[in-house]
Each structure stands twice: as C-alpha cells, then as structure tokens.
Amino acid sequence: MNYKLLAASLIIGAGTLNAAGQADPLRFDPDNFTTGSLTMPDGEQVAYKAYEGLFYVRNIEDSTYQTLNIYVPEKMADINRVPILLRTYVGGYAASTAKTPSATDATGRALKEGYVVCIPGSRGSNSTITRDGKTIYTGTAPNGILDLKAAVRYLRYNDSLIPGESELIFTDGTSAGGAMSSLLGATGNAPEYEPYLKKMGAADARDDVFAAVCYCPITDLNHADMEYEWLYGCTNTGVRHLNEAQISISNELAAECPSYINSLGLKDKQGNLITADNYKEYLKGFLIESAHRALQEGCEIPDSIGLSFYIDKTGPMGGPMGGPGNGGRGMRPGNGERRPMGDGRQAPSFGPGNAPRFNKTSDYVTGIDLDKYLSYVASVTPLKTPPAFDQMGVLIPTPSPENNVFGNENGEAANFTEFSLRHRLDDPSAKLSKEMEKRVYMMNPMNFIDNEKSTVAQNWFIRHGAKDRDTSFLVPINLATKLENAGKNVNFFLPWNRPHSGDYNLDDLFSWIASTLK
Ligand code: DHB
C-alpha cells in the first residue's frame, strides 16, 4: 500500500467526519465512482473512474456551476508523481458547467497518458439564481476565478484521497478560459482573494498551481483596448474601414499605449529593455520565428502577406524571391523546433500559387512588413471595432463579454476602464468606483507576477495563433515576457496560420508537460 492509500484508509476509517464530528461536505469519497471510457481518435479505449458533481465549496450559491468532476484513468502513468490536469471550459467569460472528458482535447489525452483530470464548473457572466423571487446574477467578476481557485483548494484538501499529486496541477483553458488559467497560475494564495474564498466556504488549503497552460488568453482587460488600437491602427483606413468617430477613438486609445508598454520594463532574452520604440521589432521576431517553423514543416507561405524570404539561388530549387520588407532580423534554418504533422493541429497551408519554393536547409525568412501582415490578419477575420473590449456606451450601446462579466448582480453590464467611462456619450463624468478598480485588478494576472504575496506557477505554456485577432499580440507577449523576466519556465509561441482556438497540437503540449515533470 502506498502512502496515499494508507492515508486514505485512515481518513475513511474516521468516517470522513470533521473535527466537530460532523460529516465533512468537502471530503472526497474514493469509493463513490462510476466507470466510463473514451474512444481515442486512433481507436484506443481509455477507461476511467468518474467522480462527478462534487461540490467544492461549503456555502454553495449556485449548485449548477459550483461542482467539479474528477476522472482517474484505469492505467495510471507509471511515474512516481502523477500530475492532475485541471481543464476549465470557460468561454466568453460565461458560466461553465463541470464537463465530461473529450477524446479530442487535452482531457482525453491526459487520461490516455495516465494523468488525473479535473473539470470544474464555475459561475460566469450569465449564471443566475432566483432569490426571494428575484433573479440574481451570481458570476460577475471575480466570482469565476474564485470558483476555480476553490476547486484547486478542494484538490489540495483531498490530496491524500484523490489519486494524482495536488502539487502537480496543470491548469488549462482557452480564450476567456485561457485568461482564467493565467489567473490560476499567477494568483496562487494571493491575499486579495482570501476573504472571498473564506466566505464561500472554500477548503482551507493552498491554491497555487504547478503549471498554467493558456491558449489565447483574453486578459490584461484594462489595457487590452489600447493594445489593440496601437497594433491594428495601421488598418483603420484600409481593410478595417473605420468611420471618423471610430478613428478618433482608435487614435486616442493608441496614444495611451506607449506609456503602458514602457511602464512594464520588460526585457528580451538578451536582457535588452523593450520599449514602445522597439516593441514592433520584438513582435516581428515572434512572427518570423513562427513563419520559419511553418516553412520548415513544409507549409507554403505567399510573399503577398508581408513576409520576405532568403531563397538560395544556387540550390536545386532556387530562384529569385523575397518581397519587400527585407532587413528584418533573419533566422537561420535549423533554429525552429521540428515537429511531426498530423497531431491534431490544423495543417498550416496556403494554396501554392504565389508561394516561394522553400528549401529547408538553405532558405529562411528574412523579414516581415508588419503593417501588411496585420492587414492580412484583419482580412481573414474582421477586427473588433474600438474600443474592442470596454465598448459599451462609447460608440455602440452593446455590451461586450467583458462589460457583462464586470456587471452587477442585477445583470446590468458595466464599463471597467477610465477611458470608456470618459468617452461615454450619456455621462462622461462617471468615474471608476474603487470597488470596480479592485475587481479589475483581481482579474488581471499581470498584477500578480512580480507580487511577493502571490505564489506564481513555475511553469507556463502560452499559445496565441499568428492570425488570432481576438486580442492584440501584445497581450500574450507581455504576459509571457513578464513571466520569463520573473525567472519562470515559459514555453511561448505564436503558431502559424492559427486562428482563435485551443488544445491543438497536443503532442507538443504533452511533451512539454512531460519535460516539466523531470
Ligand atoms: C472570448 C473571445 C473574445 O474575443 C473575448 O473578447 C472574450 C472571450 C472567448 O472566446 O472566450
């Protein structure tokens, strides 16, 4: 019997009672499970034990969402310490129920690898209960992240009973869920959340995690509008077709961005300070690396979207090539990490036609015309109009998902930046309340990375598609860079030709997970 089973039998022997002799509602019962199995894409059957509908707080406000499911593979990984994948399905900052695992995403893959999976539900912008005949919105910020932190605490609290190591929790989510994952990674044990978690009756345990996997995190919400306009402003009169009022808002927002960039004090891998003046070169480096790796993997990229290439004219496939924009930082072939295709990711390919013929051993990407590339991104999926996030009441009345999640318990959406309040057509004198400032602060992982009071995850896997326009490239780049500057183990990449999506290229993700366990 291993130490976990021994501890489990001692606790069960005590009848899962708490100190006062009452049944403990947060105590996990290892014997209360059903069984199930997944058929993986290759036909393999992955059998598991399912523990479903477990409440993770004592003071349940919303029984639809404040539950979690745990799946334990029949064949546990043959390693000393088995990790737990905590996958949130939060999207659009809405509520999310505890789901069952899927053969085609990271949950199924984790079970196949012999890892334990936890899928918590959480309240969100649209979750409601009826109290005294009144509809109450239960999931406005920061309640969603509080629920997910309570789920982490539940895993720790029951460490001796739940298979897998609660010291090896990997959080995973996409988009708003990617933002939640980044918050779980950045805000471990941060005192700001403590009074709320106590009030909810969360388990008395730590809530820091080992690793955060964040696909296209829609985060840094109080700077996301300026970051969007600073980057995409170059398309305003072109592919974006903005009207005069929109251009004016776009320009004003963009003008606020340089001081924000400079305030971050970020450094590149060589230790050079990144400022608003050199930021675009920094961004180009990531895009060039992405394009280069795609070419190495056999994908074709036309030079019409802003990239230029060095094509060895002496080689067997050589020929004069290379569009405008030469002079960017070149990347020698072989720097890209080679990976097999056919691993669940959408194959990055453009039609042949005008694509240069690329020789993997001698050719490389020399540069990128950023404005041209951004216009290309905007031509694939129309950009958001300014302000992209805190939009309600500025030029249009419609609330964004972010306005909704910062709303109140009556379901009224709210602005969350000084800028948008100042530009409201109805009441430009409205001010950001102290309470709203605090809620916005608690929803931004950037505030906790170099914050001594929070325990930041040591390991980070961050992806944002190279043609994902749901937020500015600055958002994931700043997050990854700030973490790297804080000494964290960060695996960051902008996968080529990838739109807003998550849990792709699972071979890549799971080999990274394995690497962090060594
Ligand atoms: C999501 C996408 C968005 O563009 C956004 O602003 C918020 C959330 C999402 O897919 O979760």
Which of 96, 172, 175, 384 has the most ligand 1 atoms within 8 A of CB, as the residue to mutate?
A: 175
Q: Is 91 in the pocket of ligand 1 (CB under 6 A)?
A: yes
CATH, range 3-215 = 3.40.50.1820
Per-residue pLDDT at 360: 77
Task: State how far Cα 371 lies from the chain centre.
Answer: 26
CA distance 454 to 185: 10
Share the mean pLDDT of the chain.
90
Q: Are 272 and 485 in contact (CB under 8 A)?
A: no
Q: How many CB atoms lie within 10 A of CB 285?
A: 17
Which is it for the CA torsion 269, 274, 278, 283, positive or negative? positive
Local structure of residue 167 (DSSP, 8 states): G
3-state secondary structure 280-309: HHHHHHHHHHHHHHHHHCCCCCCHHHCEEE
Q: Residue 352 CB: number of other CB atoms within 10 A? A: 9
| Closest ligand 1 atom to Cα of 384 | 4
In this structure, what DSSP letter does residue 376 have?
Answer: H
Q: Where are the alpha helices (DSSP H) in 134-278?
A: 143-157, 176-186, 194-200, 221-232, 244-264
383 lines ligand 1 (CB under 6 A): no
pLDDT, tens only, 32-67: 999 999 999 999 999 999 999 999 999 999 999 999
Report strand pairing: 45-55 vs 116-120: unpaired
Residue pair 491/461 in contact (Cβ under 8 Å)? The answer is yes
Would you state the pLDDT for residue 18? 67
Over residues 111-148, the pLDDT tens digits come to 999 999 999 999 999 999 999 999 999 999 999 999 99
Model pLDDT, residue 1: 36
**Distance (Å) from CA 505 to ligand 1 centroid:** 21
- Dihedral sign for Cα 354, 357, 358, 364, please: negative
134 has which bridge partners? Answer: 131
User: Tokens 């088995």 label which residue?
Assistant: 82
Q: Give the closest residue (by CA) to ligand 1 atom 9.
A: 92
Ligand 1 atom 2 nearest Cα: 92
Task: Give the three-state DSSP class for 217.
Answer: coil
Q: Are 169 and 211 in contact (CB under 8 A)?
A: yes
The rounded Å distance from CA 175 to ligand 1 centre is 6
**Interval between CA 248 and ligand 1 midpoint (Å):** 24
C-alpha–C-alpha distance, residues 215 and 501, integer Å = 7
CB atoms within 10 A of CB 144: 30
The verdict on the CB of residue 176 being under 6 Å from ligand 1 is yes
Report which protein residue has its CA nearest ligand 1's atom 4: 470
175 CB near ligand 1 (under 6 Å): yes
Mode of pairing for the β-strands spanning 211-215 and 459-463:
parallel
Q: pTM, whole model, 2 decimals?
A: 0.91
Q: How far apart are CA 358 and CA 362, in angstroms?
A: 8
Q: Is 487 left (phi over 0), alpha (psi -120 to 50) or beta?
A: left
pLDDT for position 64: 98
Q: How far is the CA of 141 from the centre of ligand 1 (A)?
A: 15
Task: Look at residue 96 and give its three-state secondary structure.
Answer: strand
Atom from ligand 1 closest to the CA of residue 400: 6
Say how many Å lie between the CA of residue 94 and the centre of ligand 1: 10
Provide the Cα torsion 179, 183, 186, 190; round to 10°: 160
Give the distance (Å) from ligand 1 centre to CA of residue 14.
46
Distance from residue 409's CA to the centre of ligand 1 (Å): 21
* 458-to-188, 453, 469 alpha-carbon distances in Å: 11, 15, 28
What is the residue whose two structure tokens read 């696909």? 215
Nearest alpha carbon, ligand 1 atom 7: 92
Does the CB atom of residue 178 touch ligand 1 within 6 A?
no
Mutate to test the pocket of ligand 1, among 122, 218, 469 (most ligand atoms within 8 A of CB): 218
Please give the number of the atom of ligand 1 that sits closest to the Cα of 471: 4
Q: Report which protein residue has its CA nearest ligand 1's atom 8.
A: 92
Mean pLDDT of 183-200: 98
User: What's residue 323's pLDDT?
Assistant: 33
Residue 391 identity (one-letter amino acid): Q
Could you tell me if the CB of 90 is within 6 A of ligand 1? no
| Best mean pLDDT range from 13-17, 39-43, 306-310 | 39-43
Q: Where are the domains of the chain?
A: 3-215
- Among candidates 162, 158, 143, which has minimal Cα distance to 206? 158
> Does the pLDDT value for residue 332 go beyond 50?
no
Q: Report whether residue 323 contacts ligand 1, using a CB cutoff of 6 Å.
A: no
